[in-house]
Amino acid sequence: MPYKPDPVTMQVIRYAMEQVTDEMGRTLVRTSRSTVIKEIEDISCAVFDRHGNTVAQAHHAPMLLTGFELGMRSLLQRFRPEDFEEGDIIIFNDPYSGGQHVMDLVSFAPVFFDGELVGFVGSIAHHSDMGGAAPGGTAGGLTEIYLEGLRFPFVKLYKRGREDPELFGILANNIRVPDKTLGDIRAQASADFVGVRRMRDIFAKYGPDVVHRCLEMLLDYSERRIRQGLKAIPDGDYSGDDWIDDDGFTDEPIHLQVNIHKRGEEALIDFEGTSKQVRGNINCPLATVHAAVYYALIAVVDPHVPPNSGCYRPFTIEAEPGLIVNPRPPAAVGARTNTSQKITEAMLKALAQAVPDRVMAGSHAQITNCGFSGYHPRTGRRFVYIDIQGGGAGARPMKDGRDGQDSHLARFKNTPVEAVELEYPVRIERYEFIPDSGGAGRFRGALGLRRDIRVLVDDVSFARYGDRQRFAPFGLFGGKDGAPGTFILNPGTPDERPLKSKGLDHLRKGEVVSLRLPGAGGYGDPLERDPALVLRDVRDGKVTVEAARRDYGVIIDPESWTVDEAATQEERFRRKE
């Protein structure tokens, strides 16, 4: 019995496409070499229809998804359908052509069925090195994109299934760890080839006409859901703002403002009030800006909608050229994540005015990306150790924040201590929650993390960019702010000193870098928090006895580990008078 393009078949094909992207992602992770991919999983994969619309995407980093969306538009402007051949893989990483930053290499592969171009697959991965001034591309304060690494236009890295030896040669000559990076690029190619085969299987089973029609129906379905969700939000103009600590070049704080103009079933978002682009590399290209805006809107409007290009149709994003959210070349953009996080925070702060029960308090809202590089004492070969640190997630209207987990946009995984120490000449001496770093509230903000890293060889470069060390994660509706972060060199020794959140230093053998990540804001009045929950946090070491009294008005006996209910009631009554 032939298949028909009806709603049931549409959903079956939808889930088949999602399975393709997830299988691509698992292939990429399993065959990669760098910990930033195989452990942190700083990747994503997607499939597209013949017109370049995203129809399904893997359950990985939301930040990377519009790296496909805008990148695919640019690809189709540069290549005609007849320019593609079976076995081709096209790569690019140019932030000024729909990419995000040069460390995120994007690859696309055309899918043919019976000689006809029927769609595309794509993968994106953060590589451990792409050349440039700092190993791993993680140094804050770089002032031009030319310092950040190799920047590729749209070029065919694979032609008819074969590697282009000249392009691979250029890559090998310009990166510090070619075996790792080239291995990871080949892992991306493996993922793309898997995706092509699986897509062909779907077209073979259902037929091109049914698949094309069902994909059109799927995009329309997602659009309808978003429009329906927007109708439930009151019309109005809502603004929210946040601050980036600095650009890594000067110490001046940088303002970010979003303005949401919601009318009926559509919303326009602009950035009037946002700072102009800066010399340091916190400038944010449009692909990342779109990801941050879409993430916040979809999470609030309809978090369970099938994520595809149809979701974006009701939204319009306007960003004046020359702002930090739409920089002009050759502005550096490598640390753009710390701006994108503030976009999402400002979006949630604005939406809290319209739908307070659908948003969360301020999260750590930064990504501490570190690159340690030197020479391994056992092999004598260069190593580049990339690690990405999370922090606290904001408290929610009915729940505490998620302690020590990455939040908006990234969804990166923890790098296990064992995996790090097995591969690199470092020792992780502390990895723990930071007590009292979560903002007090009826629901508590999440705790930040502390990770102390000792280097075991001399002359190790330490490149990093972080943020949220001057402006604390905000609380909502009476909730208190979370703790800001800090970086400290050689804590607890006569050589202890703070480090800038963005920069490049060199470490001696035995030196320790202590990364102390921000917590998150609380939601609601702390005096309304259940004393039993406060006691549980104290017993778990998340809140100290002193903070329980100071922030929550809960008196705990440190010997019996019980709440003094009479004293607590009296303390809270006194404060509310």
Confirm whether 437 is domain-assigned: yes
Residue 164 falls inside a structural domain: yes
Six token digits for residue 339? 């701006």
Does residue 61 or residue 334 have the better pLDDT? 334
> According to the model, what pLDDT value does residue 391 have?
85
Coil, strand or helix at 225: helix
Provide the number of structural domains found in the chain.
Answer: 3
Strand 315-318 to strand 266-270: parallel, antiparallel, or no bridges (unpaired)?
parallel
Domain of 148, in residue numbers = 7-223
Domain identity same for 71 and 183? yes
Residue 314 has pLDDT above 60, yes or no: yes
The tokens describing 119, both together, are 């769609």
Residues 521, 540 share a domain: no
408 is a domain residue: yes
Span 464-486, mean pLDDT? 97
Instruction: Write down the pLDDT at residue 66.
Output: 66
pLDDT at 67: 64
- High-pLDDT (> 70) share of the chain, %: 99
The answer on pLDDT for 398 being more than 90 is: yes
What's the pTM? 0.95
Task: For residues 427 and 571, state if they share a domain.
Answer: no
- Which helix (H) or strand (E) segment holds residue 105: the answer is strand 104-113
Total length of the chain: 577
246-303: per-residue pLDDT in tens? 999 999 999 999 999 999 999 999 999 999 999 999 999 999 999 999 999 999 999 9
- The DSSP element (H or E) to which 433 belongs, if any, is strand 426-433
**Does residue 231 carry a pLDDT above 60?**
yes
Q: Hey, which residues does 465 pair with through a beta bridge?
A: 369, 502
For residue 454, being part of any structural domain is answered with: yes
pLDDT in tens, 157-210: 999 999 999 999 999 999 999 999 999 999 999 999 999 999 999 999 999 999
Mean pLDDT score of the chain, rounded to an integer? 95
**Which residue type is seen at 299?**
A
Tens of pLDDT, residues 420-455 = 999 999 999 999 999 999 999 999 999 999 999 999
Three-class secondary structure of residue 202 per DSSP: helix
Residue 426 shares a structural domain with residue 546: no
Q: Are residues 430 and 541 in the same domain?
A: no
